A and B are shown apart, each in its own frame.
Chain A
Amino acid sequence: MVSSLKFSLRDMFLEGVRPLEKILGYIEVKGEEAVIDASELKHKEVNDLLRYTALNKVKKVEVINVVGQRYIGTRLHIPNPSPRLEIHIKGTPGNDLGAFLDGHRIIVHGNAQDGVGNTMDDGEIVVHGRAGDVVAMSMRGGRIYIRDNVGYRTAIHMKEYVGKIPVLVIGGTAQDFFGEYMAGGRVILLGLSLKEGEKHKAHYIGTGMHGGVIYLRGRVEKYQLGKEVGIVDMEEEDWKFIEEQVRRYCTYFNRDMDKIMEGNFLKLVPVSKRPYGKIYAY
């Protein structure tokens, strides 16, 4: 009665993807600048064209009419000393924007979806709007600046190693599991979208966190924090770092730096480097 239809499975990512020479009509290159019209392009085709521009000495690309194409900016590993691209996105990029990003710069003129900067390695992502869930998931280097709010599980399992420390700055507030299982990196949550005295929206902040630092501007109740984080005093170094990052944020999004720095900052760090180390030990 129930017919198995497994054999009819079609590849929804690669089906209909055209070879590079067939899609060159969607790109216009003028010296070191280029424009890609993404309105009829599939996920892979956008990245094929971005790679094409990078290999052709283009420095600045504008991708227009983006509507949900995923993984934009991935697969752009280009041997040094080639210049890094500056990619401007007009429209709404799809999930995993800048996944594995290799030193390029992405500026989104609008909102971003889930998974911004997934396992990003180096470079910068600037979002002039809000972003969805799992921003900076497993991010291992580079910087991300989000103007407004972010969704669930921001900075989940962000990491660092020796001198490679990723940075994430969020202008608004975040939803639950902020900094979940964070293993490294620096995250700043500015709370600019909250009203005077309103507490941050996230619960379970830093659950399972075992590395890195969260700087939280504004109010948060103790019960909103996960069991694995503690609040410690800010030190000279912390203020220096916050100032530098807030300055960038204010430059990108045209905000008043002094007003932001007037706010109250909390520094959250993990209580233990191995919060679950003892659970399965015996």
Chain B
Amino acid sequence: MRFEINRESERHLPDKDLQACGLFGVMNIEGKRFGGEMAIKAIVNMRARGNGLGGGYAVYGLYPEYKDYYAMHIMFQDRNMDAKKKVDEFLSRNFDIVYDEEIPTNPEARVMYPPLVWRYFVAPKKKGEDAKFSDDDYVVAKVMHINTSIEDAYVFSSGKDMGVFKGVGFPEDVAEFFMLDELYEGYMWTVHSRFPTNTPGWWGGAHPFSILDWTVVHNGEISSYGTNRRFLEMHGYYCTLFTDTEVMAYAVDLLMRRQGLPIEIVSKIFAAPMWDLIENMDEKKKKLYTTLRMVYAPLLINGPFTVIVAHHGEMFGITDRIRLRPITAGARGDLVFLSSEEAAIRAVSPKLDLAWTPRGGEPVVVRLKRKDHLMSLKESV
């Protein structure tokens, strides 16, 4: 049998998307601050994983001069000044604004339709009913208010001494737009390439997603989004960014900050072991994992994923329990890396003391002044 060849359409771009999201994180476990070069170089190495519709960075140890104040990064879509006015009023009513400015940007950068981006350093001004809230809870409530009630305004970063920078473009374009390699230093950087799942690329939808100092970069698709979102709404978290990863940021805030669970447990809630593996565990473990699966069933994260979650002093990488997305960890001296691909780590640190891949659902936990990342070596390859 012969196939007819359509001469007119001999060459065409495939309809299939070949990208897969690139993730990278690096921490100096001694807390020494460094610039954005490593994060940028690593994510550029994984260019094939992105598509130019999203890129973003989270930087920790970013604002030492304002480290006692919540640093709010707020974007105003379409440079909507009316939204800015509303936000200014709202913030002045509820916070003491210590300092605010437009985040310096480079107009030459190759990004699409940048919004107006502004940063505010604020301290909570709690009155009446609000006095019973902790500072953190108060800030979460106010962030939710801005995101849900003020059109065209999105708080995309709200932690202390840290910040998120994100937008539409390749990650190196976003870095150029915010001039990350020139202006900032931090002891921990995470970065993401590609764009939000199942939504058009837009500035608020780029990764990392954050609340307070919790940030998440994610590769994959959270098919349990609906269940997770409804559960989080019961705890006062409202999803407004049109994409799945947002639930992960709120879930870690709920479980780790508010309920005080350690990463090691939280990872077993997100990526719970299969029932048939629990069946073969010893009694104590069986009881623990059965309990976790029952109590936190609505926070089981289903579908393929790799995430790097970070907050001050801690960063952890984890995949779904059957590892449908990749992760590699590496260590060299005081630097510990997490990445979608080993090559990206080698691009910034050709020599490594260690390179390893944990079991699916098993976290690699990187902590300041500790060697906890070595715990994940046991079950790794």
Q: Residues of A with Cβ closer than 8 Å to B?
A: 1-6, 8-13, 43, 67-68, 70, 91-95, 111, 113-114, 130, 132-133, 148-152, 172-177, 193, 201, 203, 221, 223
Contacts and interface: CB of A to CB of B under 8 A. Distances in A.
Contacts of A133: 323, 326
Interface residues of B, number: 46
Nearest to B276: A223
A1 B152 contact: yes
Given A3-B113, A95-B341, A201-B381, A132 B202 contact: no
Contacts of A149: 381
B199 A172 contact: no
Contacts of B277: 203
B77 interface: yes
Contact of B323 (A93, A111, A151, A193): A151
Contacts of B242: 2
Interface in B317-370: 322-323, 326, 328, 341-344, 346-347, 350, 355, 357, 359-360
Interface stretch (B40-48, B123-131, B229-237): B40-48
Given A70-B48, A175-B360, A2 B199 contact: yes
Interface of B: 13, 18-19, 45-48, 50-53, 77-78, 112-113, 151-152, 168, 170, 199-202, 205, 242, 276-277, 279-280, 322-323, 326, 328, 341-344, 346-347, 350, 355, 357, 359-360, 379, 381
* Interface residues of B, dominant DSSP: loop
Contacts, number: 113
Given A12-B19, A92-B342, A68 B77 contact: no
Nearest to A177: B322
Contacts of B280: 221, 223
A12 B341 contact: no
Nearest to B193: A12
A89 B320 CA distance: 31
Contacts of B344: 68
Nearest to B242: A2
A6 B323 contact: no
A148 B19 CA distance: 28
B112 A1 contact: no
A261 B322 CA distance: 32
Given A68-B347, A92-B343, A174 B381 contact: yes
A67 B347 contact: yes
A167 B323 CA distance: 25
